[in-house]
Chains A and B, each alone.
Chain A
Amino acid sequence: MQVPAPIAYERATSLSNAIELLSRHGPESRIIAGGHSLLPMMKLRLARPEVVIDINDLAELDYIRANSDHLQIGAMVRHASLMNSDIANRYFPIFREAETVIADPIVRNRGTVGGSLCQADPAEDLAAVFAALKASVVITGNNGSRTVPISSFHIGPYMTVVEPDELLTEVIVPLRTHVGSAYEKVERRAGDWGIASVGAMIVLNSGQISEAGIGLAAVRADHFRAVEAESFLLGKQPTADVIAQAALIASENCQPVADQRGPEDYKRHLVKELTTRALNRAIDKAREEGT
């Protein structure tokens, strides 16, 4: 089987130690958490870090908690934990819906929220989920922490604003009332990356859409988001026609490219179809919550 090139290995003992190790080893070092994105790339020798810094001992980053305004998800939360988190899914059932279709149960036991976001794969489902939820991420470095909206976190395929001596430490999701969320994904087979995926969040206020979030994965939407479709929905009654128009806008709000998962026209069609489905279900849930 394929094996990685030589590396040095460091195991961080704390967040501050991890940052210190990053600073010491410089840009050729990489953080490893679950390892399910990085290690296959290292085995294929597409990634060649000189040093890997293991943060699996950082229990301090493994939490899901809510205060009155926010849901806070630590970077070391495993996919399986987010999927099974009552607290996260009470507010946003989109988490369970998305996690159920991310990779497979074994991979979900290891893969982490922070790792998924930092890998920044264009098909990453959690990127679309957090885009729909308009989350922010906390990035910690030598000079303390900074909070960045998810909409400016990704700067291209496999690229984020996290600097070489920084670490993503937390994702913050604002809590809302009368909110519904849902996730839709079509994949060639269980465990595969999506051909297209859509996450939706809708807040209803007196029957009108007061906030809308639409996250898109695998279709090269800027920052995993269908901003124009979101804007279109604001202040409108969620009628079938409005949803159909929003879905159409979303399908034009991305730049899918043909690959072995599907041709461009199909991917656009899927965005439209899945946006419709996700919006409908998010609206239904928002209504249920409202009653």
Chain B
Amino acid sequence: MTDLQTKPEGVGFGRVSRKEDARFVRGKGNYLDDIALPNMLYGAVLRSPYAHARIKSIDTAAAQAHPKVKAVITGQILESLNLAWIPSLSHDVIAVLATDKVRYQGQEVAFVIAEDRYSARDALELIDVDYELLPPVVDAKRALDPDAPVIRDDIEGKKDNYIFDWGSGNEEATEAAFKKADIVVEQEMLYPRVHPAPMETCGAIADMDPISGKLTIYCTTQAPHAHRTLYALVAGLPEHKLRVISPDIGGGFGNKVGIYPGYVLAVVGSIVTKRPVKWMEDRSENLMSTSFARDYHMKGKIAATKDGKILGLRVDVLADHGAFNNTAQPSKFPAGFFHVFSGSYDLEAAYCSVRGVYTNKAPGGVAYACSFRVTEAVYAVERMVDRLALELDIDPAELRMKNLLKPEQFPYTSPTGWEYDSGEYPRALELAMKISGYQELRKEQAEKRRRGELMGIGISFFTETVGAGPKKHMDILGLGMADGCEVRVHPTGKAVVRLSVQTQGQGHETTFAQIVSEVTGIPVADVEVVHGDTDNTPFGLGTYGSRSTPVSGAAAAVASKRIVEKAKLIAAAMLECSPDDLEWESGRWHIKGDPTAGKTISEIAFAAHSTQELPQGMEGHLDASCVYDPPNLTFPFGAYICVVDVDPGTGKVTVRRFIAVDDCGPRINPMIVEGQIHGGLADGVGMALMEQIAFDEDGNCLGGSLMDYLLPTALECPSWETGETVTPSPHHPLGLKGVGESATVGSPPAVVNAVLDALKPFGVKHADMPLTPAQVWRAMQGRPMRTDLAIQ
């Protein structure tokens, strides 16, 4: 728990402008494609135009003859280096370059390295690939049909497209709850495939020093240390000769967690050419081949008494993992944290099952600010609660209020075994209803319905599950998910803090300085944050799943506390008193009862580096470090209310208002937290209303450019209305919880519930995202469409 004592201006938590803005507003950021190393070459990837085809031959002679081409790499060459296939993060393999078959449109087939990017692109057209077309399967619901083409015939003995079955919860208890219920509501729903689409695409520059053998990889990665270790494990490269640098990153949202074939190809390219090689994907490559998100076909079933007490919940999922099982998540969790799907409600029993299948679609699955599939979980439960409200004809706010967990139930163990750390749920929902003027909105809606106008009010209450994670529960490829942090106070009292996590816009250079400042009293301006370079920072698994504050932030807080404790002993030596006689004020130890007699952290730092005699056994300097293994995840939560208007003649949805009340514990920098929430709300509007990656029956990706994959603009987003409650985490050293993904997780069901509420007069019970004008109109006709397949 943070001590909210008075602090001088410029110290600790609070709204301060960001340090990183100074370079960004001047155009002096340093993103991957801004880096130009001397003698650098450019790579380009030839990709499959087909979703499923056997490669009969690849002729690269003409490309190699191009005057500016330095090398052409094919799968055959990689095979000789034992690098054609690399392990995925989910007990599978992925192809770096296809050798036998291509398995989705956009898959990597060859890599050209040339003097400049234009020539590299030109040379791709000179490669002749002879394909034998195979029938594709893009509909997950048909992937297990007996006559479905087998996608993964590279796996010995594989005769189908089945990947795994996994379940969580108590199935028997859940069935028992259903038996005694007055009402059971079932609903099938799809959380369609979407893409995080950061404005900066993915890329890497590999620079192998042929003399020292040191390989430096500049990469758009959210997890530089994890990448370094994976390169070492996969390619057998010595880890001490590997340096991964994350420069400024133009948004990540999960897209930049994994290792993509292009990165490996840049590395191979640099080894082959002995020159630095840059590879930067274009937008279509980004959308068509790098990590998508979701693609969960869910069958929900909710049980309740007739007066609206929810008893049980069951969700059965068909999970489309694409051509390789390459979801990035803790190893023991094939469905991520989906099993937190019982959400924010006090129910007797819950059970989920998840079946994963292969399709001829790009691999991935966990990305787009989803907290390892909590997004899908929240969508499932929040849609089911709304469906129940519809059947029971109870106001959805009232139904939620009746079933929300109560403050006295925390810490709360969910039916699937999660221990929610803290929560005061009714307070958040009450606040959201108050800000929105909920009762007035319902009156307005009734008025409008009488006039034939369609207005909808949608609610979502979410519990997030972030800060992965405790070693005892989770790992990634055997690596524990602890993060290191080092704090060093210089002799003059200025500090440097070194982090393992990686900002992609979250503002770590400011917020981590604020954490150190909050604890040590050193002004924020005097704390420098170092990150994004594995040679200069401690090990840790990086930034995703909203884990920076819960894990690395805790490490920074603990290291800072160690500094303050050491400073106490030094102050006692300086003041010639017992440490027990000292009292802490922000940035200074003083003698209890005599505030004039004290030593500031600057004075103490200088002393620590001076000839000052230190207590027996104490080493000099004022440094500390911490490797933080979180005892639990943190569970931020929130109540969202969305108000929409639907044009009854065209089906066009306008989001009129969006009210978001978030509780992430104390806020390091309220301005930054609010900004992250705004961004996630826009994500929710995008996913709910327009973002779509469907596939036609030939396996063509129909969302492969920003002309087709629509991201919301300023005109689709309302002016967000935010509110806050504060429920600290009992186990985080400063009471903090993660928040980066809360709004992306929580907002889609609010928008969808609002649109379906607007369509209530038409008897519409459900329609899948995205709720485009066509989908809304079709729902009004009672014929909503499947949104994972091409519109017929």
A and B touch in the complex (CB under 8 A): yes
Interface residue ranges, A against B (CB under 8 Å): 1-3, 5-6, 45, 104, 186, 188-192, 195, 258-263, 266, 269-270, 273-274, 277
Asked if A266 contacts B777 (CB within 8 A), the reply is yes
Q: For the complex, what is the distance from the CA of A269 to the CA of B774, rounded to whole Å? A: 10
Asked if B117 contacts A3 (CB within 8 A), the reply is yes
Q: For the complex, what is the distance from the CA of A6 to the CA of B116, rounded to whole Å? A: 13
Q: Which residues from chain A contact B772 at a C-beta distance below 8 Å?
A: 188, 261-262
Asked if B773 contacts A186 (CB within 8 A), the reply is yes
Cβ distance A82 to chain B, nearest Cβ, rounded Å: 21
- For the complex with contacts A3-B121, A260-B692, A260-B702, 9 further pairs of A-B residues with Cβ separation under 8 Å are A1-B282, A1-B283, A2-B284, A186-B652, A188-B773, A262-B773, A263-B778, A263-B785, A266-B778
Asked if A2 contacts B121 (CB within 8 A), the reply is yes
A266-B778, A273-B650 known; A192 vs B122 contact (CB < 8 Å): no
Q: Which residues from chain A contact B283 at a C-beta distance below 8 Å?
A: 1
Assess whether B574 is interfacial by the CB under 8 Å rule: no
Asked if A189 contacts B690 (CB within 8 A), the reply is yes
| Interface pairs A-B: 5 shortest CB-CB | A262-B774, A190-B715, A273-B649, A189-B710, A266-B774
Q: Which residues from chain A contact B774 at a C-beta distance below 8 Å?
A: 195, 261-263, 266
Q: For the complex, what is the distance from the CA of A195 to the CA of B703, rounded to whole Å? A: 16
Assess whether B118 is interfacial by the CB under 8 Å rule: yes
Q: For the complex, what is the distance from the CA of A104 to the CA of B778, rounded to whole Å? A: 28
Which residue from A1, A45, A188, A277 sits with its C-beta under 8 Å from B690?
A: A188
A266-B774, A273-B650 known; A189 vs B791 contact (CB < 8 Å): no
Cβ distance B583 to chain A, nearest Cβ, rounded Å: 59
Assess whether B165 is interfacial by the CB under 8 Å rule: no
Q: Which residues from chain B contact A274 at a C-beta distance below 8 Å?
A: 650
Asked if A258 contacts B792 (CB within 8 A), the reply is yes
A190-B713, A266-B774 known; A260 vs B791 contact (CB < 8 Å): yes
Interface residue ranges, B against A (CB under 8 Å): 117-118, 121-122, 125, 280, 282-284, 649-652, 690, 692, 694, 702-703, 707-708, 710, 712-713, 715-716, 772-774, 777-778, 785, 790-792
Which residue from A192, A260, A273 sits with its C-beta under 8 Å from B694?
A: A260
Q: Please give me the residue from chain A that is nearest to B649 by CB atom.
A: A273
Which residue from A3, A6, A190 sits with its C-beta under 8 Å from B716?
A: A190
Asked if B121 contacts A191 (CB within 8 A), the reply is no
Q: For the complex, what is the distance from the CA of A273 to the CA of B780, rounded to whole Å? A: 15
Asked if A262 contacts B791 (CB within 8 A), the reply is yes
Q: Which residues from chain B contact A195 at a C-beta distance below 8 Å?
A: 773-774
Q: What does DSSP make chain A's interface, helix, strand, loop or mixed?
A: loop
Asked if A277 contacts B649 (CB within 8 A), the reply is yes
Q: Which residues from chain A contact B791 at a C-beta distance below 8 Å?
A: 258-263
Q: For the complex, what is the distance from the CA of A6 to the CA of B66, rounded to whole Å? A: 14
Q: Which residues from chain B contact A262 at a C-beta distance below 8 Å?
A: 772-774, 777, 791
Q: For the complex, what is the distance from the CA of A45 to the CA of B652, rounded to whole Å? A: 34
Q: Which residues from chain B contact A191 at a C-beta distance below 8 Å?
A: 713
Q: For the complex, what is the distance from the CA of A142 to the CA of B777, rounded to whole Å? A: 51
Q: Which residues from chain B contact A1 at a C-beta distance below 8 Å?
A: 280, 282-283
A and B contact pairs by CB, cutoff 8 A, 21 listed: A1-B282, A2-B121, A2-B282, A3-B117, A6-B122, A45-B125, A104-B713, A186-B652, A190-B716, A195-B774, A258-B791, A260-B790, A261-B774, A261-B791, A262-B772, A262-B791, A263-B791, A266-B777, A270-B650, A273-B649, A274-B650
Q: Please give me the residue from chain A that is nearest to B781 by CB atom.
A: A265
Q: Which residues from chain A contact B707 at a C-beta distance below 8 Å?
A: 192
Q: Please give me the residue from chain B that is nearest to A189 by CB atom.
A: B710
Q: Please give me the residue from chain A that is nearest to B696 by CB atom.
A: A260
Q: For the complex, what is the distance from the CA of A259 to the CA of B125, rounded to whole Å? A: 29
Q: Which residues from chain B contact A260 at a C-beta distance below 8 Å?
A: 692, 694, 702-703, 708, 790-791
Asked if B712 contacts A189 (CB within 8 A), the reply is yes
